[in-house]
Amino acid sequence: MLFLKQAASADFQKNIKGIYVMDESTDKRISMAVRFFYFSALLFFFLPATVVFAEQPILKKYIIEYNRQAIQKSLKDDTYRGEEGILSINPEEARALGMKTVIDADYLEAMRLFREADECLEKAKKAMYATAKEKTAGYYAAEISGNSLNYKKKITEAKSRLMSYHLRLNPDNDDRLNETACSKIIDRMLDESLKDEATGLRDKLAVFYNTCHGVEEKNFPLTGNNTRFVNYVFNGFLKESSLEEKQSHDLDQCYNYVRSYNWKDAAGFLTSEYVFLIDEALKKLGDELYPVDPLLFMALIKKESSFRPLAVSRVGAAGLTQIMPETAGELGMKNIFMPAYYQEAVSLAKREREARNSALSIVDEINEENGLKLAEKARNLMQESLELGRRRAELYGKYKSELIKNKADDRLQAALSIEYGLKYFAGLMKKHDGDISLALSSYNAGEHRVRDFNGIPPYKETVGFRNKILQFYREYIHELTEE
């Protein structure tokens, strides 16, 4: 399978504007964008493969910059856990990379105390969430207060030991502070990551991060744990690299194939109906639509609904493209099932989150004098959150049942779901200049969250959504590139 990289140029955008035209020789509708790449791909295919990582200094610069900032932040906000140097790794991770590093009694004791502190915090939360009748009056409040106080005590001692450890480190006793040695390791690992079979630059950066931290991700290298790092380095690369350097990488813009140019060939018999509807929507929307690879849109539908027109999510997203009721109205869909109790469910969900967050924040305020009083308040708030959650789930369940039963909602009509879903996704692609990952993240988590994180939000659901759709997308293309 051969993937070519999209050029972020005005000429490219011009070439892909006229999406579908009739090809008289084959009597098939084909993409002007794919036709453009078809001929350039043939030239590329016969040229000798050369791997040049001219952009490595840029990537390296932002890797180091991010890691230095991360360590400074951790020292200020008390999240420091022994990470050091321009690699920002703990001593165990450094040793796994063959580096000389310090692991002394203070470090080991600090790590033990942090683990015990986490256990105390979990016990406090468990008491806040518990619904069973108390063994004795005030039992849960005492559990919350006692474990919260133990948590703080252990955290304080662990931080003190860890700071003592931190202050004893120097380039002579710990290779992580030897920037020359670390720089060489970054070069080597970056080279290896860029050669990794992971497809896009974001995923290759995720491979680099995972390797540094001794993480093995068998399915998708990009996770919620490394997304902030990937966003920072990726954005830095986009800002400083030349057009030629950008073209040397897959920047999640598009994937292009050379052995076939009819996207419909990738569809199986069971999805042929939806291929027809996608084609009809493309014709209807015409030139007003920002160019979207139909195979990418098919991958989105597969992930969202598994091609089930009556699919409804636990929060009211419905149809093949899982459009939320509010979004459907903004897109111009006419018949949207929106009973008053749906808005009540939305309100309950918000109040549920607020009560839960308030309960957790109160735990931080517990001390010897106010422990039982604040613990009781925190538990009451958490119990309120649980009750709000039960009522919210009931209303959403009722909504889903009535929505499927009545089938009057436009989102449950396959043709309309595809048309408006395509229109919505194409709009997101346009807003993000054709960046598939950012468009998919916006589709799942909302545009505001993509703005907040200046990239892919570090949410497990959103990262998984992006990863799975790109997997389906590549599988569709693979169908077209097989012998």
The reply to whether 441 falls in a domain is: yes
In a domain, 161, yes or no: no
In a 3-state reduction of DSSP, which class is residue 423?
helix
Q: Pairing mode, if any, of strands 20-23 and 28-31?
A: antiparallel
**pLDDT for residue 261:** 58
In this model, does residue 198 exceed pLDDT 70?
A: yes
* Domain assignment of residue 24, yes or no: no
Residue 111 lies in a domain: no
So what's the pLDDT on residue 405?
94
Cα 28 to Cα 22: distance, rounded to the nearest angstrom? 6
pTM summary value:
0.86
The reported pLDDT for the residue numbered 267 is 74
**Residue 349 is assigned to a structural domain of this protein:** yes
Six-digit token pair at 398?
A: 């009722």
Candidates 161, 141, 164; CA nearest to 153 is 161
- At residue 313 the predicted structure's pLDDT band, cuts being 50, 70 and 90, is very high
Residue 28 in this model has a pLDDT that exceeds 60: no
Residue 29 lies in a domain: no
The residue from 406, 435, 454 where one domain ends is 406
* Together in a domain, 276 and 392: no
Q: pLDDT value at position 482?
A: 67
Phi-psi region of 386 (alpha: psi -120 to 50; beta: other; left: phi over 0): alpha
Find the CATH number of the domain harbouring 283: 1.10.530.10
293 within some domain: yes
User: Do residues 307 and 357 share a domain?
Assistant: no
Q: Which helix (H) or strand (E) holds 84?
A: none
CA 298 to chain centre: 20
pLDDT digits (tens, 9 = 90+) for 45-99: 333 333 444 448 999 999 999 999 999 999 999 899 999 999 999 999 999 999 9
What is the chain's length? 483
Range 447-454 average pLDDT: 97
Please, which pLDDT band fits residue 182 given cuts at 50, 70 and 90? very high
Predicted confidence band of residue 112 (pLDDT cuts 50, 70, 90):
very high
Q: Phi/psi of residue 21, each to 5°?
A: -135, 160
Q: Select from 359, 382, 406 the last residue of a domain.
A: 406
Which structure tokens are listed for 37?
């790449």
- Dihedrals phi, psi of 336, to nearest 5 degrees: -120, 125
Q: What percent of the chain has pLDDT over 70?
A: 86
In the predicted model, what is the mean pLDDT of residues 323-337? 96
The answer on 347 and 301 residing in a single domain is: no
Residue 270: predicted pLDDT? 67
CA of 259: how far to CAs of 28, 268, 381, 409, in Å?
16, 18, 61, 41
For range 371-388, the mean pLDDT: 97
Q: Is the pLDDT of residue 259 over 80?
A: no
**131 pLDDT exceeds 70?**
yes
Q: Do 284 and 323 reside in the same domain of the chain?
A: yes
Supply the range of the domain harboring residue 464: 261-333+412-481
Closest CA to 208 of 196, 200, 225: 196
pLDDT in tens, 380-435: 999 999 999 999 999 999 999 999 998 899 999 999 999 999 999 999 999 999 99
Burial class (CB in 10 A: 0-12, 13-18, 19+), 179: middle
Residue 312: strand pairing partners: 318
Please, how many CA atoms are within 13 Å of residue 450, restricted to the half-sphere of its CB?
Answer: 22
Instruction: Please list, in sequence order, all residues whose beta carbon lies within 8 angstroms of the beta carbon of residue 12, skipping any fewer than 6 positions away.
Output: 6
Q: How far apart are CA 388 and CA 356, in angstroms?
A: 10
> Left (φ > 0), alpha (ψ -120 to 50) or beta: where does 29 sit?
beta
> What average pLDDT does the structure give for the chain?
87
Question: Are residue 371 and residue 266 in the same domain, yes or no?
Answer: no
Same domain flag for 348 and 382: yes
Q: Based on the structure, what is the number of domains in the chain? A: 2
| pLDDT of residue 119 exceeding 80 | yes
Same domain flag for 323 and 442: yes
- Same-domain pairing of 420 and 400: no
Q: Are 324 and 348 in a shared domain?
A: no
Same-domain status, 421 and 475: yes
Is the residue at 270 inside a domain? yes
Least confident of 39-43, 161-165, 265-269: 39-43
Whether residue 33 is predicted with pLDDT greater than 60 in this model: the reply is no
Residue-level pLDDT at 269: 65
**Domain ends where: 406, 422, 438?**
406
257 has pLDDT over 90: no
Q: Identify whether residues 328 and 426 lie together within a single domain.
A: yes
The confidence score (pLDDT) of residue 432 equals 96
